[in-house]
């Protein structure tokens, strides 16, 4: 059998797949994978190394470390899927990657509440309005927020951090307004002690991400938005390890002093403010928000 014969035989095995979409995806995946092997002349030693890399990726992945998502992010696949999936009208807030550190079940916090459950950096008052694309404020929308602190870590990376440190969910008021007290995030390296890190080192790439805050915005009758608020003064904006920076998502953290009359409650020294609205597109947003849910 020739190489072409092998590929044709495998493709034929998928011909009777009942689900048309699954048939399309599996045949295309097989064709491209076989073409890659042929194009680069993959050796048996390289094939075994690739299998070993996948095995190591599975071994290091657990409830708080998703190495497969890191692969997808670091190879630009996550952002490619995002670009293909989200054809947004002008004015809608752009999406970006979810990242590997999202944790479901963040606590529902009050308007203006603090994210940090221990010292984590300079306070940052984040506020704005959630609107539909036609300008209508969206009351009862949910913002699911998580970020890192000045130690460069997310809570899920730090076994000593409180479970809900630097994350929480917030609901918008009747006017669509929201506010929470975050900290100014820092640039940080993606985990580089595993297979993805070895790939980055071998290809002379750095593992750093620019400073940002993650937000997922959900509203009934609207598409769910997964996005970042990037600090426009951060390093690595032009070389994000996961290719997630979009110019429209850059935001300015404005420095404030301790005497500023708009200083949030509980803030004693210098602080920052960040204003950012979110504009959503009508559509299927998944599960309706349960207004009685508090967990």
Tell me: the pLDDT tens digits for 83-132? Answer: 998 889 999 999 999 988 898 999 999 999 999 999 989 999 999 999 99
The residues, ordered by sequence, that sit 6+ positions from 272 with a Cβ below 8 Å of its Cβ are 122, 123, 124, 125, 184, 253, 254, 255, 256
The answer to whether residue 177 scores a pLDDT higher than 70 is yes
Higher pLDDT, 284 or 58: 58
Residues 194 and 70: their CA atoms lie apart, in Å, by 10
| Structure-token match 């559509």, residue found | 283
What is the separation of C-alpha 82 from the centre of its chain, rounded to a whole number of angstroms?
Answer: 11
Q: Which of 34-48, 187-201, 273-287 has the lowest mean pLDDT?
A: 273-287
Q: Distance (Å, rounded) from C-alpha 274 to C-alpha 286? A: 29
Q: pLDDT band at 288, cuts 50/70/90?
A: low
Contact 131, 278 (CB under 8 A): yes
Please choose, from the candidates 209, 206, 124, 219, the residue with its C-alpha nearest in 3D space to the C-alpha of residue 169.
Answer: 219
For helices 77-85 and 67-74, angle between their N-to-C axes, nearest 10 degrees: 70
Closest-CA residue to 242 (of 203, 216, 208)? 208
All domains of the chain in start order, with CATH: 3-61 (no CATH), 72-280 (2.60.130.10)
127-148 pLDDT, tens digit per residue, is 999 999 999 999 999 999 999 9
């Amino acid at each position: 059998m020739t190489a072409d014969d092998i590929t044709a035989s495998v493709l034929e095995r998928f011909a009777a797949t009942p689900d048309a979409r699954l048939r399309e995806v599996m045949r295309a995946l097989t064709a491209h994978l076989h073409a890659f092997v042929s194009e680069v002349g993959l050796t048996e030693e390289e094939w075994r190394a690739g299998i070993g890399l996948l095995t190591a990726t599975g071994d290091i992945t657990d409830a708080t470390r998703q190495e497969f998502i890191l692969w997808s992010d670091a190879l630009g696949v996550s952002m490619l899927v995002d670009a293909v999936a989200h054809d947004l009208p002008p004015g809608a807030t752009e999406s970006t990657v979810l990242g590997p550190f999202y944790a479901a079940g963040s606590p529902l916090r009050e308007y203006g509440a603090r994210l940090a459950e221990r010292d984590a950096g300079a306070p940052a008052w984040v506020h704005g309005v959630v609107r539909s694309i036609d300008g209508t404020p969206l009351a009862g929308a949910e913002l699911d927020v998580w970020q890192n602190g000045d130690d460069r870590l997310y809570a899920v990376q730090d076994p000593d951090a409180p479970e809900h440190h630097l994350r929480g969910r917030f609901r918008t008021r009747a006017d669509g307004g929201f506010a929470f007290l975050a900290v100014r995030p820092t640039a940080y390296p993606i985990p580089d002690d595993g297979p993805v890190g070895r790939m980055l080192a071998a290809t002379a790439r750095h593992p750093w991400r620019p400073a940002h805050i993650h937000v997922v915005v959900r509203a009934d009758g609207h598409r769910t938005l997964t996005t970042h608020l990037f600090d426009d003064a951060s390093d690595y904006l032009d070389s994000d390890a996961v290719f997630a920076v979009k110019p429209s998502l850059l935001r300015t953290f404005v420095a404030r002093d301790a005497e500023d009359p708009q200083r949030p409650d509980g803030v004693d020294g210098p602080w920052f403010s960040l204003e950012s609205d979110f504009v959503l597109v009508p559509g299927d947003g998944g599960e309706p928000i349960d207004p009685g849910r508090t967990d």
